[in-house]
Structure 1
Amino acid sequence: MFIYVDGDACPVKREIVEISSKYQLKVIIVLSICHLTKSDGFSEYVVVDHRNQSADMEIINRVKGGDIVITDDYGLASIVLMKRALCMSSRGMQYTADNMDLLLYKRHMNQKIMRAGGKVKGPSKRSSSENRLFVMNFENMLKKSLYNSQ
């Protein structure tokens, strides 16, 4: 099992690495050259070009069933789910077949409003409680996944 992180704007990379290292799971952070950061000494960094969707395509090409992907991109999450991998947002929400249609529909409607010149409300400012929720849900996902693979 690998942990893939859509790393360009992921605010919980440190938390992912801490928890994954506890379970000795490999973390692969995929990011564009524009977002390259100093290595954390544990994760593998995959650097892609700065073109739109390059990081997403790299993750799609690598991910396999049973892997875990952390992303806030609904489109990437829907493809990851089709490949039988698990997927979670950086805010701790697990993407599932049950919630994906609604999330994609909302994204479509927001894009439609913006193309027509309207404005849509963005996500709220990140809170420390969301970080705690992510840590709790991510660790629970890892435990369940590891338990089911044995």
Structure 2
Amino acid sequence: MPAIYVDADACPVKAEVMKVAERHGLPVTFVANGGLRPSRDPMIRNIVVSGSFDAADDWIVDHAQAGDIAITADVPLAARLVEKGVHTLGPTGRPFTPETIGMAVAMRNLKQDLREAGEIKGYNPGFTPKDRSAFLQALDQTVRRALRANQGNQSS
């Protein structure tokens, strides 16, 4: 059974993750440096890591397995997860796959260089209802794909 891991520090879709996970009976682990609300749901686990740089990322990479699902806006973390065979989505529903992660990393690095050079401002676009809807649809599709793959692996 796949599990869902969420890079939760600035994740705008925690409620959507819980909704889809509940529908499919999947466990969810929220990982953050702090500020997580406890849940009475036994399928929800909160992990608070140290405040050190990349502690949440490292925890997720250490615990996620191939076939699991991860939610993150952090492109370097997404690259590490894709390499492990984890189904990885951004909070807008953007899938990170072996075919797309190289370009995502290159664009992230280019934008970082342009921000540091003062060529562009460091503003991210606002999170919209359209993004939320796209995420819900993408997560549901990803969960179904992960469940099918898991069933195929169990029958072999």
TM-score by length of 2: 0.89
Corresponding residue for residue 40 of structure 1: 39
Compute the displacement of 1:121 (Å).
5.2
* Number of aligned residue pairs: 148
Structure 2 residue runs without a partner (length 5+):
152-156
**CA–CA distance in 2 between the matches of 1:56 and 1:134?**
21
Q: Is the 8 A contact 1:2 1:26 kept in 2?
A: yes
Overall identity of the aligned pairs, in %? 25
Q: 1:72 to 1:49 in 2, by over 3 A?
A: same
What aligned pairs does 1:48-67 form with structure 2 within 5 A after superposition? 48-67=49-68
Compute the displacement of 1:112 (Å).
1.5
Corresponding residue for residue 154 of structure 2: none
- For residues 45-68 of structure 1, the C-alpha deviation after alignment (integer angstroms, 9 at most, x for no partner) is 010011221110110111110110
Say which is worse superposed, 69-78 or 48-57, in terms of deviation.
48-57
Higher relative contact order (CA 8 A, sep 6+): 2
Q: Is the 8 A contact 2:115 2:122 kept in 1?
A: no
Structure 1 residue runs without a partner (length 5+):
none
- For residues 26-83 of structure 1, the C-alpha deviation after alignment (integer angstroms, 9 at most, x for no partner) is 00000002xx232132210010011221110110111110110000011000110111
**CA–CA distance in 2 between the matches of 1:72 and 1:16?**
14
CA RMSD, Structure 1 to Structure 2 (Å): 1.3
Q: 1:6 to 1:135 in 2, by over 3 A?
A: same
**SS at the partner of 2:99?**
helix
Corresponding residue for residue 119 of structure 1: 120
**CA–CA distance in 2 between the matches of 1:148 and 1:113?**
40
Compute the displacement of 1:129 (Å).
1.2
Q: Is the 8 A contact 1:110 1:120 kept in 2?
A: no
**SS at the partner of 1:132?**
helix
- For residues 71-125 of structure 1, the C-alpha deviation after alignment (integer angstroms, 9 at most, x for no partner) is 0011000110111111000000111111111111111112212232333453311
Corresponding residue for residue 146 of structure 1: 147
**SS at the partner of 2:36?**
coil
